[in-house]
Structure 1
Amino acid sequence: MIELYHSPTPNGQKVAIMLEECGLAYKVHPIDITRGDQFDPAFLKISPNNKIPAIVDTDGPGGEPISVFESGAILMYLGRKTGKLYPQDERRRVEVEQWLMWQVGGLGPMAGQAHHFRGYAPEKIEYAIERYTNEVNRLYEVMDDRLADRDYLAGDYSIADIACVGWIRSHEKQGQDLEEFPSLKAWYERMLARSAVARGLELGRDDSQGDRIAQDPDVRKVLFGQRARHHGKNV
């Protein structure tokens, strides 16, 4: 059994989709990041970076439980566990891993910053908006070029595609128009047509979360105002 600590963000959606694709039994533990559930001491034992998603596999290596945090690491772990969507052949695995790392280190952080400065920052900082919107636009073009002659990022459908789809789903909030990227748009439509992707994207869906973040300064403080925590207090 996989214990899934989840919030319906693009990173949370990755793992939900992977669990659905692999047909693994899982139990959802909702983490309301707008209330600060991610700072609960019990959750921090599983995810010391106080971020979702995280999992506990009660039937881990050697039959013993194991916890895993960081969405990319979870995708690779589940791929190894099930033998699905993460090839064993080294050349094919490298193809998957480099696009997974591209998402983890590039697409996700840049899209997140574009979303933040366009929708959540208390004041409009034009330089930041332009900087991150343009960088996301560049990354979309990289993805569009890659998909011009193949259906999926690494050739076959894989965890690399699963890692990206939630971020592309938020393209409008990042200031992007998919009509400018026809190959990316076609890939996105193929992804949405997969029933496991659709189920993963809908898991715990909360259409009000974005409004709460944009409108409630206390929520923004929880999400964006954290510093180092010493003895349980912010300093």
Structure 2
Amino acid sequence: MECRVHRAKQKWRLTGFYGHPITANRHLSWALLKSLGQRSPLPWICMGDFNEILSMEEQLGGNQRRESQMDRFRKAIHACQLIDLGFIGIEYTWTDNRDDEVRCRLDRVLTSQPWLNLFPVTRVCYLNPSKSDHLPILVKIRSVVELPSKKRGRRFRFEDMWLQEESCEETVSSAWSKPAVGLFLFQLYEKIQFTKCALLAWQKEVFGFAKAVIAKVRDKLGVLFEQPPSTTAHKARGELMKRLDLLLGRDETY
């Protein structure tokens, strides 16, 4: 996947990359990467699952990889004049989820020097695990160090998942029935405001707890992911993943 970004006077391109899952065919991926590097002179950021590591320091457990296999990846990056932005967070981005667990840093963010000149304080964060066997990547793009700004109020949105709760209709009905005075349009505005405030308080009570539980489960998964592989840790992660799946299933339309 590739797209071009035009923002103000800045123009650059973003590529979502996936390396071939079969080792014998991975040379096709590196040929594609080199071809993409020659397509445009625009500043370039390329990120995704490359299905390869740069050195054995990026792998925990499993068989030793051939040096030539990793070297082909290094040479492709060098040929494209790309820079690995590194990361903040968990060291390995993928696990095979087996008892004799293997972990690797297969996911990364690469940029050209012109792109890095546009956004010199960009940071790459590997987030806590979710349902996938890969960690999510968050790229915080910054051109300059930003000072804290005054927070703006969040726009109100009615969420589809609220309709699944019987108490939602009761909350709306109760708020809408509150008396309002003045001209018709002003009364209508007042009732909308009553309902908005009531729904915000209601959703915080009903769904706020669920989101806090999801966050705690993800935090626990992150801690387990950083621990050395073991049968106990693997079993605990599996149980937490099942619990997270159930919680997210309820929350998926939010």
TM-score, normalised to structure 1's length? 0.27
Q: Is the strand fraction higher in 1 or 2?
A: 2
Task: Give the number of the structure whose alpha-carbon radius of gyration is greater.
Answer: 2
Q: Is the helix fraction higher in 1 or 2?
A: 1
Higher RCO (C-alpha 8 Å, min separation 6): 1
